[in-house]
Chain A
């Protein structure tokens, strides 16, 4: 196992997972001295009937002070301020966030305001701005991808100042993450595949990027294994409770993994495509992952090769010679993407040019690629990528990902950094 010269690992969240664990929320909240809780969620989650399952699980000794479903797809400081007022007015003392990334980010923002008793979120941006534990926060994820229930960051937009505020502190980690298989049972197939590939990307990048460490490594391997063993079954058989729980758990441990080891260029490019062309995050991740692994292969091929075990199983791993494992692992990821594409009638695209919006228009026109590359240079995750990336590098990689061709690694040989690729 790879032991870096120095590493840190921290995930203070208590994760509770199972088929009917929502029922344990009241007890967990009481242990944290909470009596009245506020549920924050969004319209989609509420319409899917998931909030009802949560409220039904909350028994008498915890009172529900408010249920607010007014969270937009991108968390917004006005909503945060608004919800904070409701929290205070109704005398709540804890939050249950039911939903995906934006719901949780909003809940984290509300928790800062009500715990620090302030009305200006801006004061708490930046490292080290939060110095003490916030009020109790329970996260109930309704997708199996982002892993945001175990990450210590939150991004909240401030449209008036035209700014995105980034918060980062270990105190932003929820106290408890509740993974209940009922919460993801109704997730449509294409969203299931996208979010699961998002989690798989977290794990694969965590395993190959600069801050990898023993804990993040094993979490990553276990996450990939859970996904490859369950994803296709769940797509074919959406009510498979066991499979749903496995995917939710995989997303959770992949989240712990990447939030401690950070992620690299797949996220650099993915964030930028999302920012420029509004392509869903999971879609970008699944398309770009093979390219990221290929681009970094001369530096991290050994690690990519080890991913063949969770992707393909012990038999394939032991049969494949060591030097062939990295390519084989990437082949398995492409193959998985293709199978998901077939199983969802093309709603899980395998290259950027096939990404279509609801009206069937191409979401990433080829002439947008330079703008995406420019945006990518300003994404923080670029630091954690094992290999340097400049504008030209990014543009070339994007072109391959656009057309769906395999990355031609010989294009980089002249930069002399690829010369040690044979030394694997």
Chain B
């Protein structure tokens, strides 16, 4: 049954696949932009500048490229960029890369769309009230989806959240989605899986259902192959990127991350997501991986203790045919089983680099109660959080 009321919005246009970048010049013109500034880091500019340049050939556009983003870039970088942007008369921003790059690009957009002293005033939730300059995001394989959200972090004190910060265009091109370390890929994919799954199992919002479904299905059907491929001996010519199946699998993962970003901008955070962030602060494990560890237990808790009917969860996890041929009653357990199977596989494929449980992750058991206290909220009291964490620590399923 549908909820009493529900809503959804995704202001971004997604273009994904073969020669996506070639469409970008005319898509930019359509949103009244013709002089974009590309923001990226040294790694991406070294690898992909040529591809971007080729895509803009014959467009008669001049591009600016700034490749000085570092993981600790902050307000000074934003000011430097604002100077460059204004002095050269740019009219739009393209962020190429992941994480920090997108944060800085979004904050730059706030600065160049209004007054320079806007930043402090506009910090917080929904303080921006009108559209900013055209903003395009070009993801890479380890984009975790946060880039496509309306959130931007400057530092621990100042952060921004507004739908106006979401990109106008997300352009997913196979030439940019090249291989990455399996650990990073799994981290992004598990983050996408967690956000999508928690949203999918919380109420029946048919407006966001498509995005959730796609993110879940793409991670479940492609992640293992992508990870395995990165351990395979490289064939000759592999640098030419000729294998379209492998490229397509990577594209699917990036699609999943981007979709999770869209979902994230429309929903409150789920419990696994919160726990994941809290755990990653306490031990050396990335948030996405930690979310993935907690996810099966929190979903089991929902299904077995809160009595949510989560049989439908198997549809995106296993696909239409397997879902229909599995008898009702077995579907939820089977879906959770598939997530666990994937995690256990990664544990062995990556030679224990990717943990299966919080114990594997090197978390100290004494930390559990501290994390539970930190994350506790109205829906999930401290005791509940602790209960989920404890099960995730030992890898012990939550039974009815």
Contact = CB atoms under 8 A, between A and B. Distances in A.
A touches B in complex, CB < 8 A: yes
Interface of A: 1, 3-21, 31-33, 128, 131-133, 170, 214-215, 217-219, 222, 226, 242, 245-246, 249-250, 252-253, 306, 309, 314-315, 317-318
B2 A246 contact: yes
Interface stretch (B13-21, B40-48, B296-304, B350-358): B13-21
27 contacts: A3-B252, A5-B18, A6-B18, A8-B13, A8-B23, A12-B9, A14-B7, A14-B8, A17-B5, A21-B5, A31-B129, A32-B129, A33-B130, A132-B32, A214-B210, A214-B214, A214-B218, A215-B214, A218-B213, A218-B214, A219-B209, A222-B210, A242-B1, A245-B2, A309-B324, A314-B324, A315-B324
A222 B209 contact: yes
Contact of B207 (A7, A214, A253): A253
Interface of B: 1-20, 23, 29-32, 126, 129-131, 206-207, 209-211, 213-214, 217-218, 221, 248, 251-252, 255, 319-321, 323-325, 328
Given A3-B251, A170-B13, A309-B324, 12 more contacts: A6-B17, A8-B13, A9-B14, A16-B7, A17-B207, A18-B5, A31-B129, A170-B30, A214-B210, A215-B211, A253-B210, A317-B324
Contacts of B207: 15, 17, 249, 252-253
Given A31-B129, A33-B130, A215-B210, A6 B218 contact: no
Nearest to A11: B10
Nearest to A132: B32
Contacts of B18: 5-6
A17 B15 contact: no
A31 B2 CA distance: 27
A253 B206 contact: yes
B128 to A, nearest CB: 11
A177 B103 CA distance: 30
Given A128-B30, A249-B207, A12 B11 contact: yes
Contacts of A12: 9-13
A245 B4 CA distance: 9
Q: Which of B2, B12, B16, B19 has the most chain A CB atoms closer than 10 A to its own CB?
A: B2
A205 to B, nearest CB: 17
Nearest to B325: A318
Contacts of A131: 30-32
Nearest to A306: B320
Contacts of B23: 8
Contacts of B221: 1
A294 to B, nearest CB: 22
Enumerate the 7 nearest inter-chain pairs by beta-carbon distance, A residue then B residue, closest first. A18-B5, A6-B17, A14-B9, A10-B13, A218-B210, A318-B324, A314-B324
A19 to B, nearest CB: 6
Nearest to B20: A6
A62 to B, nearest CB: 16
Contacts of B8: 14-15
A252 B206 CA distance: 10
A15 B9 contact: yes
Contacts of B324: 309, 314-315, 317-318
B13 A249 contact: no
Nearest to B32: A131
A76 B15 CA distance: 35
B2 A10 contact: no
A237 to B, nearest CB: 15
A182 to B, nearest CB: 13
Given A16-B5, A19-B4, A1 B15 contact: no
Contacts of A226: 206
A1 B126 CA distance: 36
A214 B9 contact: no
B313 to A, nearest CB: 14
B130 A218 contact: no
Contacts of A253: 206-207, 210
Given A1-B319, A222-B206, A242 B13 contact: no
Contacts of B2: 17, 242, 245-246, 249
A85 B336 CA distance: 60
A99 to B, nearest CB: 21
A7 B16 CA distance: 5
Contacts of A245: 2
Contacts of A6: 15-20
Contacts of A222: 206, 209-210
Contacts of B20: 6
Given A226-B206, A249-B206, A7 B5 contact: no
Contacts of B328: 314
Nearest to A128: B30
Contacts of B214: 1, 214-215, 218
Given A6-B17, A131-B32, A219 B210 contact: yes
Nearest to B211: A215
A423 B281 CA distance: 55
Q: Which of A12, A19, A128 has the most chain B CB atoms closer than 10 A to its own CB?
A: A12
Nearest to B251: A3
A17 B210 contact: no
